[in-house]
Amino acid sequence: MSCETDGTFRRLINSSAERLPILRVETVFTIERFMCRIDTKLRVQFATLLLLLVATAGYAQNYEYPLNWRAIGTTVVFNSRAGLSGGSAAGVWFSPEGDALELQLDNGRIYRTGDFQNWTSVAKAGNRVGVSTKVVYRLPEGRAKAFSAPGNPYRAYAAGRFLWRSDDTGKHWVNLVAAGETRLIGENVRAIAISPRDSDRVVVLTEEGVWLTVDGGQAWSSLNPGLPNLRLTRLVAAPQAGRGLLAEWENGALVEWVPGAKAAWLARGPIASKRDGLRWTDALRPELRLEVRQEGRSRVFRSLNGGVQWVDLTSDLEGLEILGIAADRASGAIYVATER
């Protein structure tokens, strides 16, 4: 059978070239002209060898050495508040004795502190003391809710955009968390807990975490360190040119993890633009892509050919919810923001 009439080998070569990117078209033509000069037996042997090479190359293309993931950053942000800021939570309450505090995160996990400095994860919530609403003379802001202070019939706290206190049943109110442009504990109070033993001892949840006052709101301290509640909703850019890792905080602000930092992220102001935080595409090589998928757990995938083929890079990354991804092609580093 002549080379001109034998299309089988041509189809084999073309099919192999599609699967083996390193085998260029001109190389295929050179091989085909060479094969026309040898007998059929050698052609079959060479074709078999070529198929083995293709199979080996396909295996090598999909094989990945395990990646090593390590934690960077912390769960707090320096944002010029009364202390280090954190993230939002679902609820907070005192124990009946007032000697312990429990916090429920948005994901349902419960944390407890007895010294109001260190948090411990607990399997289930203990007994809690709720707060009672109070009828007051007037509210300090339209959407606020007023609450009673145990042991003091004249005192009330009101929670809305800010936290307020009144010592005359609502005739006059004092803003406890804002003065001009200063925001001591952030804004938008999500929950409040008042000690059953001391009406001056109050814990407040805002969009920037959990805060404690022991003097009726004159001074505040942060209870955010040690809590895994900082939610970075997407990674904006990988470190480069002296700049650190940039991420978007759940309150919409830009935060930066400076290389070599140990204490906290630094708030850098509002985000200028939006994009999908669970996908990353190389600006210079758009065929290089990263993607986060929820497949029972969050997993990281990479494509080198514009999404035709994907490789799972999750490796030893803990089974946490991934909220954002970014990469630096120059160094090969991949960054993911998780619930921790």
Cα separation, 73 vs 317, whole angstroms: 16
Question: Is the pLDDT assigned to residue 10 strictly greater than 70?
Answer: no
Give the pLDDT score at 30.
45
Q: How far apart are CA 235 and CA 104, in angstroms?
A: 26
Which H or E run contains 337?
strand 333-338
Whether the per-residue pLDDT at 208 is higher than 70: the answer is yes
pLDDT exceeds cutoff 80 at 105: yes
Query: CA 255, CA 236: separation in Å to the nearest integer?
Result: 9
Sorted by sequence, the CB contacts under 8 Å of residue 83 that are 6+ apart come out as 211, 220, 221, 222, 224
Q: Percentage of the chain with pLDDT > 70? A: 79
- Among candidates 17, 16, 36, which has minimal Cα distance to 26? 17
At 264 the pLDDT is 92
Q: Of 76, 78, 87, which Cα lies nearest the Cα of 251?
A: 87
**Stated pTM of the model:** 0.64
Q: State whether residue 11 is helix, strand or coil.
A: helix
Cα→Cα distances 194→132, 183, 222, 244, Å: 10, 21, 16, 40
Please, which pLDDT band fits residue 233 given cuts at 50, 70 and 90? confident
Determine the Cα–Cα distance for residues 247 and 227; give it in Å rounded to an integer.
Answer: 19
Task: Give the type of residue at 222.
Answer: S
Both tokens assigned to 283 = 């600006």
Q: Which residues of 8-33 are buried (b: 16+ CB within 10 A; e: fewer)?
A: ebeebbeebbeebeebeeeebeebee
